[in-house]
Amino acid sequence: AQRVTQPEKLLSVFKGAPVELKCNYSYSGSPELFWYVQYSRQRLQLLLRHISRESIKGFTADLNKGETSFHLKKPFAQEEDSAMYYCGASGSRLTFGEGTQLTVNP
């Protein structure tokens, strides 16, 4: 069965500290990986996708096929990064993890 796991429901860091949001997936074949973000009082939106190899708002995500992980990283967290982050994997459908609430404290 297709499954995406985000082991941390809550993550709290201080401004300027590095942050890593963990994501592991269990999928048959080679799924495409995404990170979606939901800021307070806003709708869910795409942050980045593996296929684009891009860095958005200072965030990057590396696909590790051996560990089936797609962790999201940022070297210096900002207060405006506080949001709910969802990892997603797609094959025939986009499956989301349960999300990690990131809080960046001043």
Partner 1 sequence: ETGVTQSPTHLIKTRGQQVTLRCSSQSGHNTVSWYQQALGQGPQFIFQYYREEENGRGNFPPRFSGLQFPNYSSELNVNALELDDSALYLCASSLVSTFTDGELFFGEGSRLTVL
For residue 59, what are the β-bridge partners? 56
Options 19-27, 57-65, 72-80, 97-105: segment touching partner 1 (CB under 8 A):
97-105
**Position 45 contacts partner 1 (CB under 8 A):** yes
Asked if 70 touches partner 1 (CB under 8 A), the answer is no
98 binds partner 1 (CB under 8 A): yes
Candidates 13-21, 40-48, 62-70, 75-83: pick the segment binding partner 1 (CB under 8 A).
40-48
CB burial of 11-25 (b: ≥16 within 10 Å; e: otherwise) equals bebeeeeebebbbbb
**Cβ-proximal residues to 23 (8 Å cutoff; 6+ apart), any chain:** 4, 5, 6, 33, 35, 61, 69, 70, 71, 72, 87, 97
Q: Which of 28, 65, 92, 106 binds partner 1 (CB under 8 A)?
A: 92
Closer residue to partner 1, CB minimum distance, 13 or 84 = 84
Q: By CB under 8 A, name the binding residues for partner 1.
A: 4, 6, 9, 32, 36, 43-46, 49, 51, 86, 90-99
